[in-house]
Amino acid sequence: MDPIARKAFASLGVAFVAASLGTSLVSCATDSGSEGGPPFVFRPIPYSDGGIPGNRDGNCTVPADAMPDSVTAADRVVGDGTRASCTPAAFRSALAHGGKIRFDCGPDTMTIVMDAPAKVFNDSLPDIVIDGGGKIALSGAGRTRILYMNTCDPVQHWTTSHCQDQDHPRLTVRNLTFVDGNSESESEFDGGGAIWVRGGRFKIAHCRFFRNVCAKLGPDVGGGAVRVFSQYRNLPVHVVNSTFGEQGEGNVGANGGALSSIGVNWSIWNSLFVGNEAVGNGGNPQDKGTPGGGSGGAIYNDGNTLTLSICGSRFEKNKVNAYGAAIFFVSNNHDGLVRMTDSRVSGNIGGSWHNLPGIAMHPDTRLDTANIVLEHDP
């Protein structure tokens, strides 16, 4: 393992050991394909950042409710200390139980290649924390979504009469890499190439997302990496010290190359968005004769009274075909708020309707900004 993989650092009061997530994570060059499809070529996971997720220049203080829980005392452990024991089935079994989950796959970094999504059961333990310890990557092998939670999916067990607004499960992913997730074959629950969430609460901390893909056309589908709906009492999704893409390794979807949501608030801290793409065409509602989409190179945020709060984060080299090279934010009732502090939006590519450089929104959108750099796109 590269020596940098052993570099320990303390960030925001959380001890974290960063692991190089490079070629050592890949155990083979190709697989043979399935059902007559072409073979999937395993590409090395980027580690030009040394495996340390997030914006290294971000120094925003993260509030206590956004901090990830500890998994010192795990409810479930995936693996028995060997690589062979860390199978997709073992991970799915642990997630079905819920609670705090960690991995014991030996001393080295490892990629677990999923053959189907791991799914949260709504009647499992209500607080679910999946902690990769900086050593685990979860791959969709270019064929499957990686992680799914939906409080309104009867197959995952209904637990309340108000599934769209219930306080559990409360899911946190931390110290993980999500790579090559693909939800293009999904129909009813589309979008979210790596992760799809509805209901309860959701939090991302110290994670990395590369090359995840969702449906590439459509006016209101997206989230190459993550798609979220219906958070409990409209509380925000927290994203802490996480990385979404790098140049040539970004996440791709019709809208919101990295993140996509409808009716969801977000609080994003010390994170990095690079090289993500919204590849749809025609916007939303779509232009006549087009399939729609292509907005929000990094983030697609749509709904009514919304807040998008960003602190200590960078948006670079994200790309769109329609609107908002970095961020697309539409509050349909014109009562939304974009709050941006100590952040930079620069060098994002394509699109129009930029009321701020790289950011598409209604001209009357409320803004609360401090110490930000917004540079015109090339």
Q: Which pLDDT tens digit goes with each residue over 74-126?
A: 999 999 999 999 999 999 999 999 999 999 999 999 999 999 999 999 999 99
For the chain, the C-alpha Rg in angstroms (whole number) is: 19
User: What single DSSP character describes residue 352?
Assistant: B
Higher model confidence: residue 348 or residue 37?
Answer: 348
Tokens 């070529």 — which residue? 41
Which distant-in-sequence residues (6+ apart) come within 8 Å of 41 by Cβ? 29, 30
Whether pLDDT at 12 is above 50: no
Residue 34: HSE in the Cβ half-sphere, 13 Å Cα cutoff: 6
CA dist 308 and 333 (Å) reads 15
CB count within 10 Å of CB 265 equals 21
Q: What is the pLDDT, as a whole number, of residue 127? A: 96
* pTM of the shown model: 0.91
Q: Which pLDDT tens digit goes with each residue over 278-313?
A: 999 999 889 999 999 999 999 999 999 999 999 999
Q: What is the pLDDT, as a whole number, of residue 37? A: 56
Largest CA distance in the chain: 57
Q: What is the pLDDT, as a whole number, of residue 378? A: 67
Q: Which pLDDT tens digit goes with each residue over 325-367?
A: 999 999 999 999 999 999 999 999 999 999 999 999 999 999 9
Tell me which of 168-172, 184-188, 206-210, 373-377 is least confident.
373-377
Q: Where are the domains of the chain?
A: 53-374
Tell me which of 2-6, 135-139, 159-163, 192-196 is least confident.
2-6
Q: What is the pLDDT, as a whole number, of residue 47? A: 78
Whether pLDDT at 251 is above 80: yes
Whether pLDDT at 32 is above 70: no
**18 band by pLDDT with thresholds 50, 70 and 90:** very low
Length of the chain measured in residues: 378
Segment 130-142 shows an average pLDDT of: 96
Whether pLDDT at 3 is above 60: no
Phi, psi angle pair for 93, to nearest 5°: -65, -45
Q: Are 288 and 340 in contact (CB under 8 A)?
A: no
Q: Which pLDDT tens digit goes with each residue over 60-84?
A: 999 999 988 778 899 999 999 999 9
Q: What is the pLDDT, as a whole number, of residue 21? A: 38
Share of the chain above pLDDT 70, in %: 90
Q: What is the pLDDT, as a whole number, of residue 41? A: 81
Q: What is the pLDDT, as a whole number, of residue 72? A: 82
Mean pLDDT rounded to a whole number for the chain: 89
Identify residue 358 by its one-letter amino acid code: G
Q: By C-alpha distance, which of 284, 360, 286, 366 is closest to 318?
A: 360
Q: Which pLDDT tens digit goes with each residue over 206-218?
A: 999 999 999 999 9
Whether pLDDT at 35 is above 90: no
Q: What is the pLDDT, as a whole number, of residue 137? A: 97
Whether pLDDT at 370 is above 80: yes
Segment 161-184 shows an average pLDDT of: 97
Query: How, if at all, do strands 277-278 and 354-356 pair?
Result: unpaired
